[in-house]
Structure 1
Amino acid sequence: MFFKKSRRNRAGHNAIGRELKEHQNGNSISPEKAVFINEIKNRLNDSSDLKHKEVESKITLFFIDTLIDKTMLHQDIMRHVYRLDSEPVELMNMLTVAEVKKDSNYEDTVVSILSGAVAIHVEGYPYVISAQIKSKTSRSLTKPENESQVIGPQIAFNENLATNISLIRSYLANPRLCNEMYHVGKQTRTAISIMYIKGIASDEMVQTLRQRIKTIKIDGIIDSSVLVQLIDDNSLSIFPQMLLTERPDKSSTMLLNGKIVVIVDGSSLVIGCPQSFLEFFQSMEDQNVKWHVSSFLRLLRIIAMILSVFFTAFYVASLTFHYEVIPQPLLVPLSESRSRVPFPPIIEALLLEFIIELLREAGARLPTKVGQTMGIVGGIVIGTAAVQAGFTSNILIIIIALGALASFTTPSYTMGNVIRILRFPIILLAGFWGFYGIMFAFCFLLIHLLRQSSLGSPYMIPFYPPRLADWKDSIVRLPLKFTFKRPFQTRPENVQKYNPKEHQDYE
C-alpha cells in the first residue's frame, strides 16, 4: 500500500508539474475570451477558412469551414450550445455526436480543429470542448483496378479510413479483431490504423510494427506506399517486403492467417505483413477456384517470372559466347535474321528493352483509351520499322515481347516493377561474361533473397528455413482439407484453422 500511495503522489505531482509548465509556456487555455480568440487565430495563421462564431457574449466556437459538416454543426451542436446554462463540461453529455472531448491546452485544441472538430470555449473556464463533426467526403466504392479477378468479390478500398475499416469488419465480424490508431507526420498528422486478430496474430510481430510506426519522424505521409518504405526490414533492397493490396477480401484472408494489416487515411492501398517472396505471385482468385486450376496458375506465374528475367539475357549470352547451345536448325534462321543488324547482341537487346519500357510508361501515363492505342500501335509500328531498318532481328522482337508479356502475369504491381528492372543488369552481365554472368546474377539474387526478412520473418519461407507443412499452399495449392494450419511464417498463437476430422471432402 505504501508504494501504491507513493506512485499516486508522484503521478499527482507530475500532473501538476505538467500544468505549471504548460502555463509558463503559454500553452494552457486562457479563460479570457479575447485572449483565446487571438491565440487560436495566431496559431492557425488566421486562415481564410477558419471561422469563429460567438453565441451571446461568453461562448465562442472555432472551426475550419472546409472540414466540417454544416448540417451537424446546426443540428447537433448549435441547438445544445444555445441551451447551455451551466459549466461547459456539461456539453459532453448534451451533444449528440460520437466523439466529444475536453482540451486544456492550445496544442490539442488546434489539432482537434484541424481534424474536423468544432472547439467550444466559454469565457471564465480554462478549457474547451471539442466535438468531432468532420464531413465524410469520399468517392463511392468501385471495382479493383490493379487486382481484378473473375471469380470473387468485386469491391475495392477507397481513400476514406473509416470506410476501409468498415469493409474489413464486414468480412470479419469478430470481437477479437483489434484496431489501433496512431498519428504520424509532424505536418500532416496522418491517421494510421493497425488491425489484427488477437489470439491469432503474433504479439511479438504486432509490438515490432507498433514500435516502427511510433519511431517514424517525418513531416508527412500521404500514401501507404510511403509508409511501407519507412517500416520495411531492409529499405535498400529492391524487393518489396510488404504487400500493398486494394482488395478487402485479400486483407481479411491475411488477418485470418495471423498477419497484420495497416491502413493509412487518404490511401486506397492497404499494407499486409509479413509477406514471403512466393506470396507476391499468388492471387486472391487462387482460393476461389479448384486446387488443380490454382496450382497450374501459380506454376505458370513462377515460370513467367523466370522467363521474363532471364530469357533475353540467355539470348544475348548464346549469340555472344555460346553458339554451341543453339540447336542446329535454328542457326540458319538466326544468322539470316541478324545479317543486317549492325549492333552486337547486347546493344540490340538493351535498345529494344528500353523501347518496350518507354511504350509501357507512356501507355500508363496517358489517358486510358489513348494509352491502350499508344501501346498497341506504337509497339507494332516501332517493331516493324526496327526490323525493316536493320536495327534488330525478328527473333529478338519475339523474345522481348514474350518477356514483357510474362512480366504482366505477376499479381503484385510492386513485384512486377522489380522484374522489369532486374532484366537490365542481367543482360549486361550476360553480354560481358555469358552464362557465367547469368549464373553470377542468379547466385547473387538467391543469396540476397535468403538474407531478407519481412517483419522479422524469413522472406524465402517455406523453402528457407524449410517448412514442409507450408508447401501445401505455396507454389501449388493442395485441397482445402490439407491446409487446416496457418502458415508458420506468421508465428500464429493459434496454429490450427479448423479441425480436419470435422471437415467434409467436397473437392
Structure 2
Amino acid sequence: MKFKLPFNKKQPQPINEAPKESLVRVASASDHFIQSIQNATNNPADLIIKLVPPNLTLIYIDNLVDIETLNNDIIANLQNKPHETLEEIEIAMSIPEIQHSNLLKETVESMVNGSVLIHVEGYSQVLLANIATRESRALSAPENESQVIGTQVGFNESLSTNISLIRRYIVSPELCNEKFKIGTRTNTSISLLYMNGIANDQMVNTLRQRITDLYIDELLDSAVLAEMIDDNSLSVFPQMLLTERPDRFCDAILDGKVGILVDGSSMAIIAPQSFTEFFQSQEDQNLRWQIATFLRLLRLTAFFLSVYLTPFYVAAVTFHYEVIPQAFLVPLSESRALVPFPPIFEALLLEFIIELLREAGARLPTKIGQTIGIVGGIVIGTAAVQAGITSNILLIIIALSALASFTSPSYMMGNVIRLIRFPIIILAGFWGFYGIMLAFCFILIHLLRQTSLGAPYMSPFYPPRMKEMRDSIVRMPIPLTAKRPALTRPKDKNKFKPQPVKPKKS
C-alpha cells in the first residue's frame, strides 16, 4: 500500500463535548422529555410535537415520516384509549418496526432517521415507531452505462430500492448484507454486500475494517467513499469500479468480489478491480464472443491511440522527420507552412480547446450542450485552420484522439485518459520519442506497483497467469469460462461444471 489514510488513528474528541453524553436517559415527565428533545435538536422549525390524550406525547420531524401511516395506524389507534403499559401501546399499533429505548441520544438518532417518538407520562422509556418515508426518483435506464442488449434499469438514490434490485437478481440466502453508519454529521447508511462461500474472507475483513475506521463529518456520495478506502488515493488511476448497473454489480458479486452501496448515491462500488476490467462492458456478456472480443480490442486500441497519437505527431514533427513517409512530407510541410507556433504549443492549444468544448457541453442543458459541442467544434476548428493557428492534419489527429477517449465504458478511466495525455505531449515536445518512452515506462511501473484491495492491479499479466489472460482481452465462449477469476481468490472457484454439455444423438 503506497498511501494510507489514518484508519487506525483514534480521533480526539472535542473538548467541549459533555462526558458520557450517550448515557443520558429519557426523562419520565413529559415536559422534561419535550424540553430535552428540543435542546438536543436545537428546536428546528419542522419538529412536530403532538399531545394525544390522555397521557401520550408524539414527537417527529415533518417530511421524514409517512403522514398517512401516522394518522391511520398510530394516532387513530391511540387517541382517547387509556393504556397502562408500553406493551399495550405497542400491541394497539399495527406498525411492524417498533423499538424500545431509554437513552436520549439513541432516541434522537432514531427520530432524525424517520421514527416517531411515543412517550408515556411517568415512563423513562420511549417507543420508536419507524414509519420513515424518503423521496426518490423512479427507476430508469442507466445514463452513463447504456447498452442495447440486456436489462434497461439502473440504480437510484434509495438504498432500500437498490438492495431490492440486487435481491431480485440474486435470490439466495448466501447474499450477505452488512450495514454501517458513516459520517458524524450526516449518519449516511451504507451496505457491504458479498456472497458467503464465494468471497474471500480476507478481502471482506479488509474492506470492513477500512469502513469502520473512517472518521469523517460527511459522506454524500459513493465516489468519495471509494477514494477514501482504496489502496492508493494519490494515484490518478481508479482502483475500484463505480457502476450504476445492478446486473454488472451482481455479476461481480457472484465472481467473488465485494460491493458497497451508499444511501443517496446512484453509483455502486465494486472491488477488487483490475486495469483491463475498466475496458470491459456488461454488454460483452450478452454478445457473441467474437463480437465482444472485437469490441474489447477496439477499446484497448482506442486507449493507446488517445494517449499516444498526438505525442507521436509532436515528437515526429519536432525531432524525428525520418519516421514520416516521404509521400506524406509534402502535404505535412504545406499544412504547417503558415503556422507560427511550434508543434508542442499547437497541440496543447487544440487539446485545451477540445477540453473546453467538452466541459461546456457537459455543464449546459442537454440540447444546448450537444449544439455547442458540434457547432463550436466545427466553427473553431475551421477558423483556426484558416487563420493559420493550427494545421488541418493536427486538427484531425486531435479530433481522433478525443473521439477515442469516449470508448472507455468507465467514466473514471475516461477522465484518466484525458489527463495523462497532457504530460506525455509535453515530454514529447521536449525530448521526442525518448520522452514518450519515459512516460510509457513511468506509467507501466506505476501500474505494476498498484493494487486493488490487496490484489495486483495488472492481473492477469502481472503476476502472469496464462489461463486468466485469455478471458481478459479476449472474451472467451461462455462454456470455457467455468472458473471464477483468480483476482478475487474465491472460495468456490467453479461457476459450473467445466465439461460442456454434449448433445445426445437421436
The alignment's TM-score, normalised by the length of structure 2, stands at 0.94
1:310-346 alpha-carbon deviations (Å, 9 max, x no partner): 1000000001111111111111111000000000000
Q: Is the 8 A contact 1:308 1:419 kept in 2?
A: yes
Q: Aligned residue for 1:97? A: 95
Unmatched runs of 5 consecutive residues or more in structure 2: 1-17
Distance 1:462 1:480 in 2: 19
Distance 1:89 1:109 in 2: 18
Match among 345, 354, 357 for residue 356 of structure 1: 354
Q: Aligned residue for 1:339? A: 337
SS of structure 2 residue aligned to 1:408: helix
Equivalent runs, 1:475-486 vs 2, <5 Å: 475-486=473-484
Q: Aligned residue for 1:74? A: 71
Which of the pair is proportionally richer in helix? 1
Distance 2:374 2:128 in 1: 56
Q: Aligned residue for 1:16? A: none
Q: Aligned residue for 2:196? A: 198
Unmatched runs of 5 consecutive residues or more in structure 1: 1-20
Q: Aligned residue for 1:275? A: 273
Structure 1 residue 216 displacement after superposition: 1.0
For 2:26, the aligned partner's letter is I
Q: Aligned residue for 2:371? A: 373
Distance 2:31 2:359 in 1: 57
For 2:286, the aligned partner's letter is N
Equivalent runs, 1:93-132 vs 2, <5 Å: 93-132=91-130
Structure 1 residue 23 displacement after superposition: 8.3
Decide whether aligned partners of structure 1 residues 80 and 207 sit closer, same or farther in structure 2, where only a CA change above 3 A counts: farther
1:134-161 alpha-carbon deviations (Å, 9 max, x no partner): 1142111111100000100011111111
Decide whether aligned partners of structure 1 residues 504 and 428 sit closer, same or farther in structure 2, where only a CA change above 3 A counts: farther
Q: Is the 8 A contact 1:472 1:482 kept in 2?
A: no
Structure 1 residue 126 displacement after superposition: 1.1
Match among 237, 241, 244 for residue 242 of structure 2: 244
Q: Aligned residue for 1:52? A: 49
SS of structure 1 residue aligned to 2:407: coil
Q: Is the 8 A contact 1:22 1:105 kept in 2?
A: no
Structure 1 residue 91 displacement after superposition: 3.7
For 1:189, the aligned partner's letter is N
Q: Aligned residue for 1:42? A: 39
What is the number of equivalent residue pairs in this alignment? 486
Q: Aligned residue for 1:30? A: 27
Range that drifts further, 317-326 or 49-58: 49-58
Structure 1 residue 502 displacement after superposition: 5.1
Q: Is the 8 A contact 1:84 1:91 kept in 2?
A: no
Distance 1:101 1:198 in 2: 29
Match among 310, 317, 335 for residue 308 of structure 2: 310
For 2:425, the aligned partner's letter is I
SS of structure 1 residue aligned to 2:179: strand
1:9-45 alpha-carbon deviations (Å, 9 max, x no partner): xxxxxxxxxxxx9989871111111110001011111
Distance 2:335 2:60 in 1: 72
Q: Aligned residue for 2:14? A: none
SS of structure 1 residue aligned to 2:207: helix
Distance 1:425 1:22 in 2: 53
1:106-133 alpha-carbon deviations (Å, 9 max, x no partner): 1111111100000111111111110111
Q: Aligned residue for 1:11? A: none
Q: Is the 8 A contact 2:255 2:484 kept in 1?
A: yes
Q: Is the 8 A contact 2:22 2:103 kept in 1?
A: no
Distance 2:465 2:503 in 1: 25
Equivalent runs, 1:322-471 vs 2, <5 Å: 322-471=320-469
1:196-231 alpha-carbon deviations (Å, 9 max, x no partner): 110011111111111111111111111111111111
The alignment's TM-score, normalised by the length of structure 1, stands at 0.93
Q: Is the 8 A contact 1:304 1:409 kept in 2?
A: yes
Taking only the aligned residue pairs, the percentage that are identical comes to: 59
Structure 1 residue 100 displacement after superposition: 1.4
Structure 1 residue 93 displacement after superposition: 4.3
RMSD between superposed Cα atoms in Å: 1.6
